[in-house]
């Protein structure tokens, strides 16, 4: 991870950790992993101190979460969220039992690890106007999925610090190392100028 990207990551984490609230749907374990991945790359003493402060702030939030969960309040007393299942949020106002949902999650995870189908049920309507029920073999048309799939893959690479959004594209597509643009949109195709660097 380069120094510029590292600094941006630390600034982002400082902003997020100082603004986490009960309404935040991202579990604290996610932010713990992010801080851990950044702390592995930190070399400068000032950044080390900032990571220590981030760790202390997150540890305080994690402790508060444990206390609130033991009281049955979720993340904070004003919240309807219960974070008792690690990595998941549960809306208690929907009438679900946090303990039973946690047991269901463990059971389904076991099915996933074994490659078995844990639960497969057709619910709802496939055609609301005609009141046709959803069936197990109902087909759905999904179009133009390249961009969202590629975007998710890129964001995963960014999260793993294997890619930065400000890296030059020429590292992967050398033909774009020296892009050129038409001098005049209506002019000949051989009258081009290099793209100015910012």
Tell me whether residue 97 is one of the annotated catalytic residues.
no
Q: 181, 161, 179, 182: which is closest to 170 by C-alpha?
A: 179
- The one catalytic residue among 18, 37, 97, 144: 144
Encode 92-129 in three state secondary structure. HHHCCCHHHHHHHHHHHHHHHHHCCCCCCCCCCEEECC
Rg (CA), the chain: 24
> Contact 10/50 with Cβ under 8 angstroms?
yes
> Residue 92 has what DSSP assignment?
G
Backbone angles phi, psi at 133, to 5 degrees: -70, 155
Give percent helix, percent strand, percent coil of the chain, each to the nearest 5: 50, 10, 45
- Phi, psi angle pair for 70, to nearest 5°: -65, -35
Ranges of H-type helices in 115-188 = 146-159
Residues annotated as catalytic (active site), given as ranges:
144
């Amino acid at each position: 991870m380069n120094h510029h990207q590292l600094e941006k990551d630390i600034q982002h984490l400082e902003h997020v950790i100082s603004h986490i609230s009960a309404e935040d749907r991202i579990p604290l374990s996610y932010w713990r992993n992010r801080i851990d991945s950044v702390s592995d790359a930190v070399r400068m003493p000032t950044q080390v101190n900032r990571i220590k402060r981030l760790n202390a702030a997150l540890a305080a939030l994690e402790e508060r979460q444990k206390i609130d969960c033991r009281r049955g309040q979720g993340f904070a007393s004003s919240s309807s969220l219960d974070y008792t299942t690690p990595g998941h949020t549960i809306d208690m106002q929907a009438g679900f039992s946090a303990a039973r949902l946690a047991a269901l999650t463990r059971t389904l995870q076991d099915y996933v690890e074994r490659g078995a189908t844990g639960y497969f049920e057709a619910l709802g309507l496939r055609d609301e106007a005609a009141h046709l029920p959803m069936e197990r073999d109902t087909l759905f048309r999904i179009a133009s999925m390249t961009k969202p799939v590629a975007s998710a893959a890129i964001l995963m690479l960014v999260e793993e610090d294997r890619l930065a959004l400000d890296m030059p594209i020429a590292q992967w597509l050398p033909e774009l190392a020296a892009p050129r643009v038409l001098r005049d949109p209506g002019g000949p195709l051989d009258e081009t100028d290099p793209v100015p660097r910012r």
